[in-house]
Amino acid sequence: MDSKEIEKLRKDFPILKRLVNGKPLVYLDNAATTQKPRQVIDAVSAYYASSNSNVHRGVHALSEEATEAYESARKAVADFIGAESAEEIIFVRNATEAINLFYYAYALHKFGRGDRLVKTILEHHSNFVPWQQLAWSRGVEEKIVNVKQDFTLDYDEFEKYAAGGRTKLITVSHISNSLGTVNDVRRIREIAEKNDSLFLLDACQSVPHLPVDVGRIGCDFMAFSGHKMLAPMGIGVAWCRGELLERFEPFMFGGDMILKVGLKESEWNTLPYKFEAGTPNVEGAVGLHAAINYLKKIGLEKIHPHGLQLANQCVSELESPGIKTYSPPNGLRSGIVSFTVPGVHPHDIATLLDREGIAVRSGHLCTQPLMKALGVPAVTRASFYIYNTKEEVGKLADALKSAKKVFV
């Protein structure tokens, strides 16, 4: 993406015009959530202004319009990720709920003592804690793949842990939210296939940045959130192979997931409604549809290279005796750069950056086991997206130099 293209699309984001502490906003917390373009804001507003109604439950015009908008969004998501059918798309609140759906609707019923699951030290708590709980409650053996000194996964360890015929699940993030490591999902798929294991993919940091096709990747289940890809908060996606999804038990009861209710027994609805109990987030689905259209118009193939370019610049400008970066080698990283200033708590760094209008994330980034493995309590993270510029990376580097002087 060239500078003219970036400047043009920045005009679509109203929040980028505001000041923070009297300084122009430099928003570098995109791995947590992205800002929203006018096209998404307008789509949600138009839905509320003209078509707001409950879906699937009325024959009046507004209900039919809302239903059409909701189901059109489902079809758009299916097309966006290469799903075979829109019936494989389940709308949830976020990726956390999507992973918990797999946990409660399938894993709790199908896995038990003697089975094994393999996860990695890179995982967000949302893809770490559920399997910890499965080990505790069902006696499933957990194996945790570590990272090497270059912050990439130890695939030899992956192979060793998955072997033996007892591994029922391999779960991994496509891109680490803390280190920006791009994991070799095709190699992981091969490991899963070799060991007849299910493969669950946390795609929160990949779907917004690069083309993700579930068929080509070969995973069995995938989770991602709308708010990390320009869409509103409160809308996420659980995708699952239809054949596997048919074997899931209901996740929640009530509303659209019910087909028929008697005094002593009930019958569940067909896919995907079997897993969408209660009134759904229709406006969130509308906003997600608009976000997908926006990203397709830009060209998804442009987004990852842009973020990578900024990350490479950031690593180059930050690496110095006074700053330590935690970033994998070029070619295996994404638009995420985590760093520490020795002797200074990341929260203090983030506070000083905020005074300059620069928004970054600090803390353990919902990856406490990874922080322990790295030997730090927390890091500061800069994460880039389509509207970020080389100039903003320069501002971050200059602000960090000034911040370091405060603690000298």
Q: What is the pLDDT of residues 1-37, one digit of tens each?
A: 899 999 999 999 999 999 999 999 999 999 999 999 9
Cβ contacts of residue 114 below 8 Å, gap of 6+? 139, 141, 166
**Mean of pLDDT over the chain:** 96
Query: pTM (2 decimals)?
Result: 0.96
What confidence category does residue 74 fall into, taking pLDDT thresholds of 50, 70 and 90? very high
* 366 part of the active site: yes
Q: Which of 204, 219, 314, 366 is catalytic?
A: 366
What confidence category does residue 42 fall into, taking pLDDT thresholds of 50, 70 and 90? very high
Domain boundaries 43-296, corresponding CATH code: 3.40.640.10
182 pLDDT above the threshold of 80? yes
For residue 407, what pLDDT is reported?
A: 74
- Start-to-end Cα distance in the chain: 38
- Paired sense of beta strands 167-173 and 116-120, if any: parallel
Q: What are phi and psi of 327, to 5 degrees?
A: -140, 135
165 pLDDT above the threshold of 80? yes
**Cα→Cα distances 311→228, 335, 379, Å:** 18, 5, 16
Coil, strand or helix at 212: coil
For residue 403, what pLDDT is reported?
A: 84
For residue 232, what pLDDT is reported?
A: 98
- What is the C-alpha to C-alpha distance for residues 70 and 43, in angstroms, rounded to an integer? 12
Q: What is the pLDDT of residues 284-333, one digit of tens each?
A: 999 999 999 999 999 999 999 999 999 999 999 998 778 999 999 988 99
- What is the C-alpha to C-alpha distance for residues 186 and 184, in angstroms, rounded to an integer? 6
CB-CB contact of 266 with 277 (8 Å) = no
For residue 58, what pLDDT is reported?
A: 82
For residue 251, what pLDDT is reported?
A: 87
Fold type of domain 3-30+299-406: Aspartate Aminotransferase, domain 1 (3.90.1150)
For residue 387, what pLDDT is reported?
A: 98
* Domains of the chain, residue spans: 3-30+299-406, 43-296
For residue 57, what pLDDT is reported?
A: 80
Nearest of 237, 302, 216 to residue 78 by alpha carbon: 237
- Paired sense of beta strands 19-20 and 23-24, if any: antiparallel
Instruction: Note the helical H segments in 139-245.
Output: 155-162, 185-194, 214-217, 242-245
For residue 408, what pLDDT is reported?
A: 60
335 pLDDT above the threshold of 90? yes
